[in-house]
Copies of this chain bind each other. A is one copy, B any other.
Amino acid sequence: MHSINAERLIGRIRELGDIGRDAEGRLTRLAGSANDKAGRDRLVGWVEAAGLEVAIDRIGNIFGIWRGEGNAGHAPLMLGSHIDTVINAGIYDGCYGVLAALEVIETLKDLGVTPARPIVVAAFTNEEGVRFAPDMLGSLVHVGGLAVDAALATIGTDGAVLGEELARIGYAGNVEPGHLQPHAYVELHIEQGPVLEREGTAIGAVENLQGISWQRVTIDGVANHAGTTPMAMRRDAGLAAARVGLFLREHIARSNAPSVATVGTMRYEPDAINVIPSRAVFTVDLRDPDEERLQALEAVLADFLARVAEEEGVEISVERLARFQPVVFDPAIVAAIEASARTRGLKSRRMTSGAGHDAQMLARIAPTAMIFVPSRDGISHNPREHTEPDDLAAGANVLLDVVERIACSG
């Protein structure tokens, strides 16, 4: 049983995490920015130093390719994630998966192993989607889900054009996206949720990824004086809105399903102390790993909104903001993750990814799975994002085992 070099891995995570900080120490490497370039340059430096072949495709995805003797004719095993960040980010999200992939490759190289197929570390462009929409853009282009020219023409929140930004920072490569069609894809990532930590479980064998439904709901009632309008004569858009999130929580608790529902944004109009809200605008984020159940939940919400409209005397309109179907990962890779954890004496559990990841795109073209490690307090997208060094090492060792099983014993 081999082991990665935890010190090297964690040192690189911290070093990359120091790139792109502002005067207040806030870490931000938005896709295509100067900070992104600095992070990419550091990554490419490490990839080259490890003796890997670097390929940059037209959408800026970075690949570090380790071809061994006699394996060039085989489809590569791809590992990776992303190194772009949200605003005021933590240092683990994405970067851990990319740097652990590089660490696994270097470990195998150092061990003198000759894999049966090339092994590739990938860092996909604009996974976070903070500056350019959609998120997971680079991996989406890689799997052919979005034409590269359309993706390059994407306008950012700051008015910048993605293609121009990639050229400006020197990462508009020449390679046509999708040139590497992987034999399989494995992504190691922090959980970004509380489950593993709460349970004291070291390894999540991620067997599927939730479907996501985002809707914006607008409720129109009637504004009236808060003092002079009897309760029974009101059409209070705020109270109508209040019922929705509470109903969804109750419904999900009753249904005993793994669905989650979140009302994350809320705005009242006119938003005055002594005026009954005439309008409430809010978002509903629904997720479930099962497409049928997600559709059923959407239908339950629609029925409830119709009931609320009737009962509260308000008008309700709904706008769809985003919709992704659930993804089922490859059972053989998931089993390999569990087997590795068992062998290493690490507690593991099968689980669902609640967030979107590049793996959900790669699953369209290759057997794919993910490995999760615990996130302290479930916190992510925040400077307080943290995973213990032992957990980081354990996850990378499980990745090493899975890579050996897929690429070295074939």
Give the residues in chain B near A242, CB-CB below 8 Å.
241-243, 245-246, 263
User: CB distance A264 to B378 under 8 Å?
Assistant: no
Measured CA separation A242–B381 after assembly (Å): 26
Query: Of residues A253, A264, A268, A379, which shows the largest number of chain B Cβ atoms within 10 Å of its Cβ?
Result: A264
List which A228-272 residues lie within 8 A (CB) of chain B.
Answer: 228-233, 236, 238-239, 241-243, 245-246, 249, 252-253, 258-268, 271-272
Count the copies.
2
Q: Is the C-beta of A214 less than 8 angstroms from some C-beta in chain B?
A: yes
Chain B's closest residue to A225 (CB) is B192
Q: Is the C-beta of A226 less than 8 angstroms from some C-beta in chain B?
A: yes
Task: Please pick, from B194, B245, B253, B285, the residue contacting A273 in the complex, using a CB distance under 8 A.
Answer: B285
Measured CA separation A259–B242 after assembly (Å): 20
Give the residues in chain B near A229, CB-CB below 8 Å.
193-194, 260, 354, 378
Residues of chain A at interface, number, CB under 8 A: 61
Measured CA separation A277–B245 after assembly (Å): 12
Chain B's closest residue to A191 (CB) is B228
Q: Is the C-beta of A287 less than 8 angstroms from some C-beta in chain B?
A: yes
Task: Please pick, from B230, B236, B239, B354, the residue contacting A227 in the complex, using a CB distance under 8 A.
Answer: B354
Chain B's closest residue to A253 (CB) is B231
Measured CA separation A378–B275 after assembly (Å): 12
Chain B's closest residue to A262 (CB) is B226
| 26 sample A-B contacts, Cβ–Cβ < 8 Å, listed by A number | A192-B225, A194-B224, A194-B229, A194-B230, A214-B273, A224-B379, A225-B355, A225-B380, A227-B260, A227-B285, A227-B356, A228-B353, A229-B260, A231-B252, A231-B253, A236-B262, A238-B266, A239-B245, A241-B242, A243-B246, A262-B276, A264-B271, A264-B273, A264-B275, A266-B277, A274-B285
Could you tell me which A residues sit within 8 Å of B by CB distance? 191-195, 198, 210, 212, 214, 224-233, 236, 238-239, 241-243, 245-246, 249, 252-253, 258-268, 271-277, 280, 283, 285, 287, 321, 353-356, 378-381
